[in-house]
Structure 1
Amino acid sequence: MLWTVTKPAASGLYWLDDVHKNFYQQLFAGNAFDECFLDGFNGVLTSSAKTNEKFQAVFDGYNSLDEHLKSRIQEIYNSHVAYRACFSVINIEIAKPCEELREFWVKVKSLASYLYSTTLGLVCFKDACTEEADMDVHYEEYKQLNGVVCCFCGTEEMMEERDIEPEDGLELEDEKQWRASYDHYLPKKLYPFLSVDFDNLIPCCQKCNEKAKGETDVLLAGDVRTLSFYPYDDENTVQLEASLIQINEKLKMSVNVKDLNNEISAKAETWNRAFKVIPRVNQRLKNFNSSWLAPLFNGIDDVERGKFALEDEIRRCRRFQKKEREAFFKALCFGEVLTKSDDELKALLDSVSASYSGRRSL
């Protein structure tokens, strides 16, 4: 991640995670179905037959397991809900379901998906909450706290509203919802107990969420445990460097992760594996001279004025990096340009001047 983000302090939305996790805790304790829910949630179960059905399927499925498999599910649950420690501690094992739990695991995932896709937005759930429970209101509060640019890539604005529907398809009209979308930092297919945990729900852009990360697990690469940034806690963020070098008489700008050989580097490797930011940015930087540098240097033929323009733009970009697409990387790359000698800067200014002269003569 490029910067730490802040979760809105309070929302009725957070209550559903309490309900969800309390259900499993009471289930593991051997309580009856009606005893597995927090006060006030029974009205939701009565009004939403599908929510009730999903919980009941998990309850019945769990109670049909033998004691060994029950213990295994409890182990997986405990492992997953303690996820926050895993981002910085490599030797914590993350439990996975075995083949014998495959059928039951489908029920667990189905409940998790439905709670996020549908129950969160139901009128009966909002009515049952003691605090406002509107996803769009929460999303607006998030943007007020953190800006509108994706904290994972810095190149796109966060996704706005979109169709959210259960993965097993719509059956009822009230299951069709149009609302703000969040990324499950730990995918709900792999970590279903965290499906409505807002410590695991982080807004990001569509490219990061759907095209790059998808169902990538930031804590496991295959069966190998990996470290990862945690955007709500980690004060240390990815360390990047820009490089402007000459290749075949042309100057090429690129960015890469600094090789620090420490925990930050390990987390940065996971960040790039999941969100593929470095190749995405470097693809854009193929047009650095014409798209970013030329507009900044247009009309400037003096090195000192060029330096002033660079310094001023770097300050502006740093101020607006959370509000303006690509501002983070512009500041990084213009900072690299500023390190060049006066002769190199003069050559860049002359190149820009020649480029614009050519355009005006057409």
Structure 2
Amino acid sequence: MLFSLDLLTPKFVAFEKLNNELLYFLEHAVPVGDFNRTCLSAGAIGKACWDNAKRPKGKEKLTKDKFQALHCELQKLTQADRQRLFETARDNQNLQGLFEAPNHQLLTFLTLGCFTALKELSSHLYCSTKSLQPVIDACGSVTINAHFENFKRVNGEVCRACGLERIAPFRADTPIEKQWRADYDHLLCKSKYPIYAVHPNNLFPICQTCNQDAKKAEDMFFCHSKKRPRAAFYPFTESAQDYVKLALKNDRDPEVCIQLSWLTDDALIQAKLKTWDDVYQIKKLVEGRFISLANIIEDELKAVSLDDLQANIAREVARPPSAATLKRKPEAFWLHKLYSYLVSIDLAPIWEQCHFIEEEHGEPGAEFILRG
């Protein structure tokens, strides 16, 4: 994560209650017995899950059916393994502790059938059960869209993972329930860590690029391409923002390019930075954004001379973006990092190169259009 999440980030009540329901079910599935109403809690959430079953002629398995399928698979395990599953889920609810001592083999003792049933139930709780009207009613009528708006009020509109994009556009004159919202990223993906599919500290919205294009089902604790464990930042207490720097690439590209690198010698932090980069492809995204320094100078700094360029950069460095600006304005963090580097180097060669590129490409299109 580029920015840590605010410690006052509101938890989505439906996730909290469904996570507790899953723990209740796993505990009460330890003894040998049939699947019945007592396998779920007596409260409103347990009732909502029990009542959400497929109709006699229905084909789609709903919440109750998913619980029953997992119960069936659990009964094929030894009682010791059922107890182990419950204790694994119960004793690893503190995600900060888990990130301090990563364990990507939490559920390797389960049979394939049991793991698959657990994954299908957990995914269903996240995708569908959270939106059942009885569940919403039991959670004080707070919907996922309402929680998303509350999340933005505390953490802002900029993606906490990359700092480059908004998590979702806001539309005027549109009620909360009809606003577009970002998908919630499972920090520990639900396909590999299904016991955290509805854990409230494992879910928060990030931009589409980070969630759907980059991360997908990447494992924060294990690099499958290199078959080795890895460490990762815990987003509520850690971030990368103090350990990154931008500088010119030392190569022979015809156009000046910027390179992102790490600003730390700490081996553990370097490992976490690498995971952040591997999972969200941060270096490629940032370097892609700043691949044309000439465009940055024209579009952002609007310099008309070398002296003007130097003055504009000095002014930007002297006025770093506020915490509020970083939450509102995509790229603000990275632009300030860039300016902080540029102010320390000789800008004359860069200015000359930018002019060379402009002359090579001909008359700027905007000036041509403005003149008609």
- Give the TM-score of the pair, scaled to structure 2: 0.80
Match of 2:37 in 1: 34
What secondary structure is seen at the aligned counterpart in 1 of 2:347? helix
Match of 1:189 in 2: 191
Match of 2:155 in 1: 146
> Residue 308 and residue 23 in structure 1: after superposition, are their counterparts in 2 closer, same or farther (change >3 A)?
farther
Q: 1:129-140 maps to which residues of 2 (within 5 A)?
A: 129=139, 131-140=140-149
Give deviations 1:139-195, integer Å, cap 9, x for gaps: 01111111111111111221579xxxxxxxxxxxxxxxx965200010001111111
Q: Please give the alpha-carbon distance, in whole angstroms, between the structure 2 residues aligned to 1:23 and 1:292.
A: 55
Q: Please give the alpha-carbon distance, in whole angstroms, between the structure 2 residues aligned to 1:299 and 1:69.
A: 67
1:312 corresponds to which of 315, 324, 341 = 315
The answer on 1:118 being equivalent to 2:122 is no
Q: Please give the alpha-carbon distance, in whole angstroms, between the structure 1 residues aligned to 2:219 and 2:3.
A: 20
Q: 1:1-362 maps to which residues of 2 (within 5 A)?
A: 1-6=1-6, 8-9=9-10, 11-13=12-14, 14-28=16-30, 33-35=36-38, 36-49=40-53, 50-74=62-86, 76-78=88-90, 80-89=92-101, 94-98=105-109, 101-129=111-139, 131-159=140-168, 180-222=182-224, 224-234=228-238, 237=241, 239-245=243-249, 247-248=251-252, 250-287=255-292, 289-301=293-305, 303=307, 305-314=308-317, 315=319, 317=321, 319=323, 320-340=325-345, 344-352=346-354, 359=363
Contact 2:167 2:206 survives alignment (8 Å): yes
> Residue 5 and residue 338 in structure 1: after superposition, are their counterparts in 2 closer, same or farther (change >3 A)?
same
Q: For residue 34 of structure 1, report the CA deviation from its aligned partner.
A: 2.7
Q: For residue 53 of structure 1, report the CA deviation from its aligned partner.
A: 1.3
Q: Please give the alpha-carbon distance, in whole angstroms, between the structure 2 residues aligned to 1:63 and 1:135.
A: 34
Contact 1:80 1:94 survives alignment (8 Å): no
> Residue 51 and residue 353 in structure 1: after superposition, are their counterparts in 2 closer, same or farther (change >3 A)?
same
Q: For residue 47 of structure 1, report the CA deviation from its aligned partner.
A: 3.6
Q: Please give the alpha-carbon distance, in whole angstroms, between the structure 2 residues aligned to 1:82 and 1:159.
A: 29
Q: For residue 356 of structure 1, report the CA deviation from its aligned partner.
A: 5.9
Q: For residue 84 of structure 1, report the CA deviation from its aligned partner.
A: 2.7
What secondary structure is seen at the aligned counterpart in 1 of 2:272? helix
What's the % identity of the aligned pairs?
A: 22
Corresponding residue pairs, total: 338
The amino acid that maps onto 1:95 is L
Q: For residue 235 of structure 1, report the CA deviation from its aligned partner.
A: 5.8
> Residue 88 and residue 237 in structure 1: after superposition, are their counterparts in 2 closer, same or farther (change >3 A)?
farther
Give deviations 1:308-359, integer Å, cap 9, x for gaps: 411433435455232222222111111110111xxx2234345546666753
Q: Please give the alpha-carbon distance, in whole angstroms, between the structure 2 residues aligned to 1:42 and 1:298.
A: 60
Q: For residue 28 of structure 1, report the CA deviation from its aligned partner.
A: 2.8
Match of 1:171 in 2: none
Structure 1 unpaired stretches of 5+:
162-177
The amino acid that maps onto 2:220 is V
> Residue 297 and residue 274 in structure 1: after superposition, are their counterparts in 2 closer, same or farther (change >3 A)?
closer
Give deviations 1:99-151, integer Å, cap 9, x for gaps: x610111111111011000010111211223x233000100111111111111
Q: For residue 196 of structure 1, report the CA deviation from its aligned partner.
A: 0.9
Segment drifting more, 13-22 vs 79-88 = 79-88
Contact 2:157 2:168 survives alignment (8 Å): no
Q: Please give the alpha-carbon distance, in whole angstroms, between the structure 1 residues aligned to 2:239 and 2:131.
A: 32
Q: For residue 82 of structure 1, report the CA deviation from its aligned partner.
A: 4.5
RMSD of aligned Cα (Å): 3.0
Q: Please give the alpha-carbon distance, in whole angstroms, between the structure 1 residues aligned to 2:312 and 2:31.
A: 66
What secondary structure is seen at the aligned counterpart in 2 of 1:322? helix
Q: Please give the alpha-carbon distance, in whole angstroms, between the structure 2 residues aligned to 1:38 and 1:327.
A: 50
- Give the TM-score of the pair, scaled to structure 1: 0.82
Q: For residue 17 of structure 1, report the CA deviation from its aligned partner.
A: 1.6
> Residue 246 and residue 65 in structure 1: after superposition, are their counterparts in 2 closer, same or farther (change >3 A)?
closer
Contact 1:318 1:331 survives alignment (8 Å): no
> Residue 301 and residue 12 in structure 1: after superposition, are their counterparts in 2 closer, same or farther (change >3 A)?
same
The amino acid that maps onto 1:37 is S
